[in-house]
Amino acid sequence: MPRIEIRGNVDLRKALRSFAPDLEKQLRKDLAAAMKPVVAKARGFAPANSEVMSQWQPRSFSEGKFPFYNQSTIKAGIVYSTSPSKVNRYGFSSMATITNKSAAGAIYETAGRNGPQPWVGPNAGGASKNVSRSRNRNAGEQFIANLPPLTSSLKGRGRLIFRAWATDQGRAEGAAMTAIDKTTRTFNAVISKGPLSKAA
């Protein structure tokens, strides 16, 4: 699923939880304040159901597992988190994230970044999810052509969270990094005064 990460020192968050929970609580508030405007802007970029191509609207008959567009579902799936993530295989952890969680939202966000999926047709075998099984050989190209253009940001290209990140022009990341830096300096000042006792 598409996501934007604010990376930072995971050891800081662990230390705050153990020895300075009030600072951890304030950091969460500051990070949330930085992320909320981007989330609100991204939700605002999700068009109304009536503005989306008719081929992506719900129908009375089944057309496989491809998710239909629904503005309410997509808006609800654009969320932020101030919980630190697990360290990934590259040694990084996120201090805060904005995620586009719904399947339809992820499709609207990123469709076309790598061009249309290879067409194999509805009768092709195999379990690959990275191919088009539509009866229409040109369905992928037509689908992408009917979507708005992708917007590039420093975090990636997309139509919702990445577009919001681009139009934010670094304010959210700047506010988040300022909050992290402020918390780090405050915590270091507390440490310099003497040994800390672990929070209950």
Q: Token digits for 125? A: 């075998």
Q: Does the structure show a pLDDT above 60 at 33? A: yes
User: How does the average pLDDT of the chain come out, rounded?
Assistant: 88
The model's pLDDT over 155-180, given as tens digits with 9 standing for 90+, comes to 999 999 999 999 999 999 999 999 99
- Return all residues near 94 (Cβ < 8 A) that are at least 6 apart: 5, 6, 7, 8, 84, 85
**What Rg do the C-alpha atoms of the chain give, in angstroms?**
21
**Helix-strand-coil split of the chain, %, nearest 5:** 45, 15, 40
C-alpha–C-alpha distance, residues 183 and 24, integer Å: 8
Q: Is the dihedral of CA 62, 67, 68, 74 positive or negative?
A: positive
**For residue 170, how far is the Cα from the chain centroid?**
16
Lowest-confidence pick of 104-113, 136-145, 151-160? 136-145
Point out which residues pair with 147 in neighbouring strands: none
C-alpha–C-alpha distance, residues 38 and 162, integer Å: 9
C-alpha–C-alpha distance, residues 174 and 166, integer Å: 13
Supply the pLDDT for residue 121.
74
C-alpha–C-alpha distance, residues 29 and 32, integer Å: 5
pLDDT above 90 covers a percentage of the chain that reads 54
Residue of 63 and 67 predicted with greater confidence: 67
Q: Which of 86, 97, 75 is CA-nearest to residue 28? A: 97
Predicted TM-score of the model (pTM): 0.86
Q: Does the structure show a pLDDT above 60 at 61? A: no
Q: What is the mean pLDDT of residues 25-50?
A: 96
Supply the pLDDT for residue 60.
60
